[in-house]
Structure 1
Amino acid sequence: MTPEERVEYEPTSVKAVLAEMKDTAELLIDLSYSAVLHGSDDLAAEVLELESRMDELQLQARMSVMMAARSPEDVEVLAPVLGVVGAAEKISDAAGDIAKVVLEEVGLPDAIRAALPEAVETLVRAELSPDSAYAGRTLADANVETETGVRVIAVRRGSDWLLNPGAETVLRAGDTLFLRGVEEGLGEVFEVATGRAYERPEPPAPSVEDLERAVDSVVLMKNMSELAVDLAYGSVLFDSEAVAGEVVELEAEVDALKSRFEAWTLRAAAGVEDPVSLRGLVHLASATEVISDAALEISEGVLRGLDAHPVVAEAVEASDEVIVRLEVAPNAELAGATLGERTVKQETGMRVIAVRRPPRGAAAGDADEGRDGEGGNDEDGNGEWVVSPSADTELVPGDVVLAKGTRAGAERLSALVGDPREFED
């Protein structure tokens, strides 16, 4: 680190730093994988810039925690906070490694682009043109998310990052917008923002069956690792051992996928013209495993039965994308409907990351038998967690929904499930 980059201690809110670290880590995951799937040097370069910011944040967080520890009792209480800080830093480093696969041309087969449609969501970088209809308007006035389903998840303005662009955020010419959504909406927003047509990369058809399987494994590892991070923060926020247990299962599944990936990659090496081109896939799988391991570290305190320091839960609540826990009421609009029937993601912008079924035998539990082949109780008799529910997942009264998105989206979802709340910015 150069003298210009030296970070000195200054009094700061641990909660604010942890919240920014959470938002930064999640954005880094999005950017790094999108850089690979799009083959984008620009997105990869943004990852390294943001990784540098994360280095500063983790130093600030560690210094603030050390200053707060004045006794052995303080050390015991604050130790899990350092664990969360370290986990976020590991995610950042892994994202940087993924970006370097693109920037350093380590070697990636064209088949990785064939996985683009399999990604949960697409992320695009767009520089706002002075002639854009969005320039000089607030996000509320531009009404991008409501009209197109595309969300501005971050804005880079020079060297400054806005990780929580709200309704009153004014978009300025020259801003770099990071857009997330479905392809159709992204094309429309990208064209309005930049004045240029959005060119979606055409994925080539994989030529080697084992290589196709290896690529599919990496994409599945990516989706499961992202979900593990979301659930890990949710387990801390709600102090839920059941949710933390799902993180353990996901981490184990990612490990198993990596083993299968390695076998398919070695088999594929015999059928490709240049086996060296597979090096990037190996790097990608290793970095993805690190992300799932970091998710496990975030939830480790919950798994060990330790009380999480309130500042960690407060930081999750104060972060860019909130994680909410809502219960489906008997007269709710979503009661008896599937997530797909009501297009919950499109209506609210919220992503349902898990659903807890009520225990069998409960008043609401009789209705859940036969749904998606799911049901049964967890070890605590509190029902079963359905992780990463599909569009066919039906909600019934008594279901507990964990979802992630904006505060405005959280309010819309809370109205649909009949659990009205206000989520302040």
Structure 2
Amino acid sequence: MHRDEPVEYEPTSVKAVLAEMKDTAELLIDLSYSAVLHGSPDLAAEVLALESRMDVLQLQARMSVMMAARSPEDVEDLAPVLGVVGAAEKISDAAGDIAKVVLEEVGLPDAMRAALPEAVETLVRVPVADDSPYVGRTLAGINMETETGVRVIAVRREQATGKARWITNPDRETELRAGDALILRGFDEGLSEVYEAASGEAYEPPASPEPAVADLERAVDSIVLMKNMSELAVDLAYGAVLFDSRGVAEEVAELEAEVDALQSRFEAWTLRAAAGVDDPVSLRGLVHLASATEVISDAALEISEGVLRGLEAHPVVAEAVEESDEVIVRTVVAPESGLAGATLGDREVKTETGMRVIAVRRGRREEGDGRADEEGARDDPAAAEDGNDGETQDEDGEWIVSPGAGTRLRVGDVLIAKGTRAGAERFTALAGSPEEFDTN
């Protein structure tokens, strides 16, 4: 949206607008960092297009909230909703700033891609050609993810009005059309196959020059870590609002403080590295990245601030989170569940259900559980290597954020997970119990 483009009030559901803002903000985080890490102007341009859409959404949300306020009591109830709207807009602006590092050549080492860990997947934008075999077929019919390991995380579709419509987190029934722009996530081998089938052109991954900056790998690792922590903070913030959980909100505050510390250390590294390169200006984009990441974590804290202050979240916010494309669910490990006593890796929870467990709150440990966990940790090297697992030290009620494959679950553990609506049903069935515990 151009800043001078008028936006008129339209009767719009606040819940629907908030849900779209949530999905858009999460997609923006993914796209913006991928644009930088993979040096992709195409992805960066999509970020700015989405940021423009967010500008419209936040204005519509504010108008709808003001129309809904009919009394001083309504104003008090709806004020936190405006806070959530403002936080999503901050995330959007920060993502736009990250994308401009690529588009405006603010200054970034050319060898960023060469320093990426091999385990980091690539995001690619590809247009669907008129003669593509994908045209007119659903994602279920194409079976892309199973056959190639590549997932369509978003679709941009031009409308008859000339405006683009975004489909975030498309599902099995999403039908692809000629002219669609697909955002793909995967590794180069699978991406090459899908890219050629969609566009009719060969996929050419960006060249990977040798790193010219000493210890650039560590810098990239720090960027990826800050990105992951900020993204997790946003997920947990929405979870805190959805479940009115002070415990989850406090974890958001902890993550925000950790990102602040990482930003400070990263900026210090950049300044020291500048003394050893021919063109110090080439590192300016790294400072921009660190600053924008800190803004995203701050926005996450703003989303959960009402919970931290003991204010009840307006129901419309929780309903918007529930109706967004990627849902957040909470369930409890039941005694008869196959998860009881197993690690997340043992049961391949993410593969089996499509859900990512973003937090675990420890249930009450039964007598003998500590010994069993200790033995399990010795038998499972992955558990010992995962710094977030720590089964032998977890206390009742303790939160574990971003649990790893070695995290061993216990009866009564409260799990918060994120994924598709269909995946949520499989996940709750696997846990074997509806929510029945307080997570505050």
Same fold (TM over 0.5): yes
Change (3 A) 1:6 1:308: same
The answer on whether the counterparts of 1:210 and 1:265 sit within 8 Å (CA) in structure 2 is no
Deviations 1:343-394 (A, max 9, x none): 322332222211222133479777556754235667xxx5211111112222
| Counterpart secondary structure, 2:183 | strand
Deviations 1:110-151 (A, max 9, x none): 242244336754322121123333211112222223444433
Amino acid at match of 1:29: I
Distance (whole Å) between structure 2 residues aligned to residue 97 and residue 119 of structure 1: 26
Paired residue total = 418
Per the TM alignment, residue 271 of structure 1 is displaced from its structure 2 partner at its CA by 1.1
2:410 aligned residue (384, 396, 404): 396
Amino acid at match of 1:193: A
Moved more, 175-184 or 300-309: 175-184
Pair 1:277-2:282 in alignment: yes
Q: What is the match of residue 353 of structure 1?
A: 358
Per the TM alignment, residue 184 of structure 1 is displaced from its structure 2 partner at its CA by 4.6
1:338 aligned residue (339, 343, 347): 343
Q: How does 1:408-419 map to 2 (within 5 A)?
A: 408-419=422-433
RMSD of the alignment, in Å? 2.4
Moved more, 106-115 or 79-88: 106-115
Distance (whole Å) between structure 1 residues aligned to residue 300 and residue 232 of structure 2: 9
Change (3 A) 1:29 1:414: same
The answer on whether the counterparts of 2:327 and 2:419 sit within 8 Å (CA) in structure 1 is yes
Q: What is the match of residue 306 of structure 1?
A: 311
Q: What is the match of residue 198 of structure 1?
A: 203
TM-score, structure 2 normalization: 0.88
Amino acid at match of 1:405: G
The answer on whether the counterparts of 1:132 and 1:195 sit within 8 Å (CA) in structure 2 is yes
Per the TM alignment, residue 90 of structure 1 is displaced from its structure 2 partner at its CA by 0.2
Moved more, 3-12 or 82-91: 3-12
Distance (whole Å) between structure 2 residues aligned to residue 394 and residue 172 of structure 1: 44
Deviations 1:231-282 (A, max 9, x none): 1111111111111111001000000001101111111011112111001111
Q: How does 1:24-423 map to 2 (within 5 A)?
A: 24-117=24-117, 121-158=121-158, 159-201=164-206, 203-361=208-366, 367-368=372-373, 371=377, 372-374=389-391, 383-419=397-433
Distance (whole Å) between structure 1 residues aligned to residue 374 and residue 314 of structure 2: 38
Change (3 A) 1:3 1:328: closer
Amino acid at match of 1:152: V
Distance (whole Å) between structure 2 residues aligned to residue 41 and residue 258 of structure 1: 25
Distance (whole Å) between structure 1 residues aligned to residue 77 and residue 262 of structure 2: 35
The answer on whether the counterparts of 2:116 and 2:220 sit within 8 Å (CA) in structure 1 is no
Distance (whole Å) between structure 1 residues aligned to residue 318 and residue 148 of structure 2: 32
Change (3 A) 1:182 1:324: farther
Moved more, 262-271 or 148-157: 148-157
Distance (whole Å) between structure 1 residues aligned to residue 201 and residue 111 of structure 2: 27
Deviations 1:9-52 (A, max 9, x none): 11110000000000111111111111111111111111111111
Per the TM alignment, residue 413 of structure 1 is displaced from its structure 2 partner at its CA by 2.2
Moved more, 149-158 or 55-64: 149-158
Change (3 A) 1:418 1:186: farther
Unaligned runs of 5+ in 2: 159-163, 378-388, 436-440
Distance (whole Å) between structure 2 residues aligned to residue 317 and residue 122 of structure 1: 28
Change (3 A) 1:267 1:211: farther
Moved more, 63-72 or 100-109: 63-72
Unaligned runs of 5+ in 1: none
Moved more, 364-373 or 161-170: 364-373
Change (3 A) 1:185 1:395: farther
> Identity over aligned residues, as a percent?
79
Distance (whole Å) between structure 2 residues aligned to residue 13 and residue 388 of structure 1: 33
The answer on whether the counterparts of 1:121 and 1:181 sit within 8 Å (CA) in structure 2 is yes
Change (3 A) 1:141 1:4: farther
The answer on whether the counterparts of 1:368 and 1:396 sit within 8 Å (CA) in structure 2 is no
Moved more, 392-401 or 226-235: 392-401
Moved more, 302-311 or 329-338: 329-338
Q: What is the match of residue 381 of structure 2?
A: none
